[in-house]
Structure 1
Amino acid sequence: MLNKEKFPIFQKNGVNISNEVSLVWSIANTLRGAYRADKYRDVIIPMFVLARLEAALKDTKEKVYETYKENPSTPKQVLESLSGYKYYNTSRFTLKNLLDDPDNIKTNFESYLYGYSERVQDILKSLKFYQEVENLAKSGRLYGVVKKFSELDLSPSTVDSIKMGYMFEDIIRRFSENEEAGSHYTPREVIGLMVNLLLAGANTDVFQDNKEVKILDMAAGTGGMLATSKSYIEQLNNKVNVRLFGQEVLAETYGIGKADMLIRQENSDNFVHSDTLKDADPFSQIKMNFVIANPPFGQSWGGRMLTMELKMLLEMTI
């Protein structure tokens, strides 16, 4: 049962990510000359996501590959069970062993990418990464980028989800410049304060043992609010079943958020690529316990036509 006297208080970020982020930034510098600085992100962010996804599969990779090799018709549910995650990779390649054949790095790397299952394919397409592989190969940078990321240890046992969240956000901030950064993420310190305020006034019946608590963020970014909300509730009562739901309109941040959901073994199918103001509600049949969001106030929400639609809607409700 929940004990409000034991509410975790807002904590300042004490996570040190300087070494890891500096290493990623140094990888970006290897693209100099082949890419404009504002395009580094098109390579670095997808590769960072891939390195994280692969690292989580390290212990089960060989078993999945051998099973698929023996029977390519193996049901995806079996392969997911073997991998331990809701995704897998049936390719024989890893970022590390791709380096063994530099002359065929492009062909083998594409084989490696296509070996990922459907949920990861959705992420790669959202990040438009397949378009960049050709560019990297033509510029002679593909081998070097793969090599650098193969040396980056992003395994969940080394880098937990909280630290990974800070790393995602810092990398995005560096590549986005000031005018865009707020559309991608909200600092975890701010999220922590928001979650404290949201849950402090909640009915304690919501947090009973084995109770299912559903949380929605309809402007989810990379999913930081959802992850922090769940972490906070589990500190209050780790017997509560927390389900997370997110919507994100920007393809890049959607891809990162969905990848993070996969790594944390959440139901990534509940993290959808959707425009909250324009599209039909993907969760209309689900009653949420909490809704938390930081709408992109500094961004256009659809221009003049959408403004007129909102004005008409407001007039109808008055």
Structure 2
Amino acid sequence: MSEDQKKQLEQQLWNIANTLRGKMNADEFRDYILGFIFYKYLAEKMEIYANSILKSDDIKYKSINENTSQGKEYIQAIKEESLEKLGYFLKPAELFSEVAKRGNSDVEGENNFILQDLQKILNNIQLSTMGTESEEDFDNLFEDMDLNSTKLGKTPEARNEIIAKVLSHLDKIDFKLEQTELDVLGDAYEYLIGQFASGAGKKAGEFYTPQEVSKVLAKIVTTGKSKLKSVYDPTCGSGSLLLRVAKEVTEVSNFYGQEMNRTTYNLARMNMILHGVHYRKFNIKQEDTLEHPQHLDKQFEAIVANPPFSAEWSANPLFTSDDRFSQYGKLAPGSKADYAFVQHMIHHLSENGIMGVVLAHGTLFRGGAEQHIRKYLIEDRNYLDAVIGLPANIFYGTSIPTCIMVFKKCREQPEDVLFIDASKYFEKVKTQNVLKDEHIDKIIDTYRNRLEEIKYSKRILLKEIIKNDYNLNIPRYVDSYNAEIDIDIDKVASDLKSLEKEMKLTDKIILDFCIELKIATPF
């Protein structure tokens, strides 16, 4: 698929999404449209898989009569295979295309009211997984799609009309799922999530990291690796950051994540499945990561995160005996959980792993408990590998400048820390600052080769950081200040004198012309 075709598909989906826009706010219509796209994906995968099983019998899945004994036998056999392979099951009559067709039927006497059937089908997808390995991955996956909500329309008929219209538009789009080498739908889904984030204001940070920042993090944690055993995001949002890491290597064996918000947790699971990640290869949990961690017994080869900036947490004294925090001697402040997330991630980082986390700039220099934690990480453990300053206004919902801190337990250059000031390298697009590919490449090339460049990057010896009381503020180490040009006052005075002489000469010439022409002088 060409880039133009890809953009055309993205625009088509966004136009369909806007069919619902007038009915509800961005958060709500996001949940419906992404849910419908996901249902279409599941149905088409189901049909493709069932047809492959039936190929030897020269039968198409849609043609099976569910009411005959032979049809029931076929369906039962396919159900068993589908639950094992795909993790869920849909009957022929439950396929997206069949429901869309019924909802938009204009055949006289045929009932085109599909709301109840559609709600039941969405529930059936979850129910089909009960008692199987995939049960947790599909549990309440469609709970945010209340088809009886008055936000879709005041009457059942009005709701049915708008939903049937959306299904009809979606049904006409070919997701090209049979071309397994393409991830057309996955890319389009990411595009939609990004579009919703750009319109969601401050709330966008709850579920989405801008793709260019995701690229930087993903490229950093995959440095020197073509395969990963595992990747983990303790604040995974929609899962986009985890999936971005997978694009930088040939294979990721397992994806792990945790997300506190229930709606966003559902979105993350949908996103995984829709990108072709098998249900056995991802483990996404819904809980508060700091208060109720779900993967404590595991270590990960790559860890990425964009945790909420300066969020509150309990900082319960009981955590001083928690293995994640006990060795530091102090807990992160209750009003600023940034370093609690860092400590949590360090606990999960394997000896050969790389960890990249986006943080607010205050984490680089604030005192108190945070300074104490920095001291432990830098001097006692020597885990800090790099500090990268990003431009302001690149995140949705906040204009503050941010940074990326990179940690390794086994550092190749343990004698220094690399500082990169990339804050001035961006392109302004409307109201947002955006990192372009050349800006990203510059950051990654500098990091991987530990390059030094005047006003951009510098390797700083540990003893200098220690001497500065573990203050990591980037301007201390990378002088990106553009000094004003020195002004030679004597030369300026001389130039002014010359200019005054020229003006007097010009005035005399004008005066002579006026006398000769017998007209009034301008002086």
1:259-278 pair list within 5 angstroms: 259-263=270-274, 264-266=276-278, 267=280, 270-278=283-291
* Partner amino acid, structure 2, of 1:247: Q
Output the CA distance in 2 between the equivalents of 1:144 and 1:57: 23
Q: Does 2:33 correspond to 1:30?
A: no
Letter in 1 for 2:116: T
Q: Give the CA deviation at 1:51.
A: 2.0
The change in CA–CA distance for 1:268 and 1:144 in structure 2 (over 3 A counts) is farther
Offset of residue 23 of structure 1: 1.6
Q: Would you say the 8 A contact 2:221–2:303 is kept in 1?
A: no
Q: For 1:86, what is the secondary structure of its paired residue?
A: coil
Q: What does residue 9 of structure 1 align with? A: none
Please say if residues 230 and 301 of structure 2, whose CA atoms lie closer than 8 Å, have aligned partners that are also in contact: yes
Structure 1 distance, partners of 2:78, 2:96, is 25
How far is 1:167 from its partner?
Answer: 2.6
Runs of 5+ in structure 1 lacking a partner?
Answer: 1-13
Measure how far apart 1:151 and its partner are: 1.7
Structure 2: gaps spanning 5 or more residues: 55-60, 103-109, 130-136, 331-523
Q: Tell me which residue corresponds to 1:115.
A: 124
Partner of residue 413, structure 2: none
In the TM superposition, residue 69 of structure 1 has moved relative to its aligned partner by 3.0
User: In 2, Cα distance between the equivalents of 1:57 and 1:242?
Assistant: 24
1:36, distance to aligned residue in structure 2 (A): 5.1
**Match of 1:192, as an amino acid?**
K
Alignment of 1:262-301 (within 5 A): 262-263=273-274, 264-266=276-278, 267=280, 270-279=283-292, 281-297=293-309, 301=311
- Residue-by-residue CA offset, 1:111-138 (whole Å, 9 max, x unaligned): 432331334453112xx11x23554444
**Which secondary structure does the structure 1 equivalent of 2:141 belong to?**
helix
CA distance, structure 1, for counterparts of residue 36 and residue 177 of structure 2: 16
Label 1:231 to 1:68 Cα distance change in 2 as closer, same or farther (>3 A): farther
| CA deviation string 1:182-217 (max 9, x = no partner) | 322223332222222223267x9xx6xxxx712211
* Alignment CA distance shift 1:286-1:312 (3 Å): closer
Counterpart secondary structure, 1:59 = helix
2:164 maps to 143
Instruction: Tell me the alpha carbon deviations over residues 33-64 of structure 1, each in whole angstroms, 9 at most, x when there is no partner.
Output: 54456632232121122222223223124668
Which residue does the alignment assign to 1:92? 93
Residue identity opposite 2:248 in structure 1: Y
Shift of 1:225: 2.4
Q: What does residue 221 of structure 2 align with?
A: 198
Change (3 A) 1:278 1:168: farther
Identity %: 20
Taking a change above 3 Å as real, the CA distance of residues 164 and 183 of structure 1, as seen in their structure-2 partners, is: farther
Name which of 109, 115, 118 aligns with 1:106: 115
Deviations 1:75-100 (A, max 9, x none): 9753324xx42222235222222223
Pairwise mapping of residues 181-192 of structure 1 onto structure 2 (< 5 A)?
A: 181-192=204-215
Instruction: Return the alpha-carbon distance in structure 1 between the equivalents of residues 269 and 203 of structure 2.
Output: 20
Structure with the larger strand share: 2
Q: Read off the aligned partner of 2:115 and give its amino acid letter.
A: K
Q: Is the 8 A contact 1:68 1:74 kept in 2?
A: no
Task: For residue 68 of structure 1, report the CA deviation from its aligned partner.
Answer: 8.6
1:168 aligns with 2:189: yes
Report the equivalent of 2:34: 45
C-alpha distance in 1 between matches for 2:25 and 2:294: 37
d(CA) in 2 for partners of 1:160, 1:110: 32
Deviation at 1:268, TM superposition (A): 5.8
TM-score with structure 2 setting the length: 0.46
- Spell out, residue by residue over 1:267-312, the C-alpha distance to the aligned partner (whole angstroms, 9 max, x if none): 2651222221222x22222232222211132xx74x5xx2553897
Is residue 42–residue 132 contact of structure 1 (8 Å, CA) maintained in 2? no
Q: Tell me which residue corresponds to 2:434.
A: none
Cα RMSD after superposing both structures: 3.6
Aligned-pair CA distance for 1:102: 4.6
> In the aligned structure 2, how far is the partner of 1:68 from the partner of 1:250?
42
Instruction: Tell me, yes or no, if the aligned pair for 1:248 and 1:272 is still in contact at 8 Å.
Output: yes
Q: How is 1:223-238 mapped onto 2 (pairs within 5 angstroms)?
A: 223-234=239-250
1:254 deviates by 1.9
Give the Cα separation in 2 of the matches to 1:69 and 1:134.
35
Q: Classify 1:189/1:163 alpha carbon distance in 2 versus 1 (closer, same or farther; 3 Å).
A: farther
Choose between structure 1 and 2 for higher RCO, CA contacts under 8 A separated by at least 6 residues. Answer: 1
Q: Which amino acid aligns with 2:204?
A: A
Structure 2 counterpart of 1:171, which letter?
L
Q: Which residue of 1 aligns with 2:46?
A: 57
Amino acid at match of 2:90: N
Structure with the higher fraction of residues in helix conformation: 1
Distance in 1, matches of 2:235 and 2:176, equals 28
Scaled by the length of structure 1, the TM-score of the pair is 0.72
Corresponding pairs, count:
282
Letter matched to residue 172 of structure 2: E
Q: Is the 8 A contact 1:251 1:273 kept in 2?
A: yes
C-alpha distance in 1, partners of 2:5/2:264? 23
